[in-house]
Amino acid sequence: MTQFDNALFAQLRDVIAEKKSLQNPLIEVLRQAQEIFGYLPIEVQEFIAAEMNIPASKIYGVVTFYNFFSMKPRGKHMLNVCTGTACYVKGAPKVIQMLSEELGIKMGETTKDGLFTMSAVRCVGACSLAPVFVIGEDTFGRVEKKDQLKAIFAKYKA
């Protein structure tokens, strides 16, 4: 018995049929599967394995290798905290602590309201603004006070 709507699997089956002819279709199929289901639980990985005739262990290996893929449900917004060298030196650990306290989650976790998942990323190319975190397409730099965080998060909670 699946926890997902059969229509989602039908959608995924169409994606697989469409991408099968690509030279290396697996990453693209997984990327789209994650868009459809929100994450890549074992059940979805096994479905892809059967449909594409690939060992489930290989799919698991790919999913766990790339940070981009997640086996846990993710929040509506990814909160990516840069832990690259410039950001680290300029206070990324303090930013992570502030974000954790404000949202009540640790790195890799999702807020109870399902809005944010916090993860660590490498340099996002905005070192002059270090320390930096990114929510979706928005980059925030030199955030030093919790009050600033409240104002930032309010926008996404609205």
Binding site for ligand FES (CB under 6 A): 82, 84-87, 123-127, 130, 132
The strand pairing partners of 82, in sequence order, are 121
What is the amino acid identity at position 135?
I
Give the position of tokens 């998060």: 153
Q: Which is nearer to ligand FES, 33 or 130 (CB)?
A: 130
Give whichever of 87 and 118 is closer to ligand FES, judged by the CB atom: 87
Nearer CB in complex with ligand FES: 37/140: 140
What's 54-93 look like in SS3? CCHHHHHHHHHHCCCCCCCCCCCEEEEEECCHHHHHCCHH
Closest CB 119 distance from ligand FES, rounded Å: 14
CB of residue 44 vs ligand FES: minimum separation in angstroms? 32
Select 108 or 125, whichever has its Cβ closest to ligand FES: 125
> Nearest residue by C-beta to ligand FES?
84
Nearest distance, CB of residue 157 and ligand FES, angstroms: 25
Contacts of 10 (CB under 8 A, 6+ apart): none
The two structure tokens encoding residue 102:
């404000």
User: Would you call 140 helix, strand, or coil by DSSP?
Assistant: strand
- State in angstroms the smallest separation of the CB of 142 from ligand FES: 11
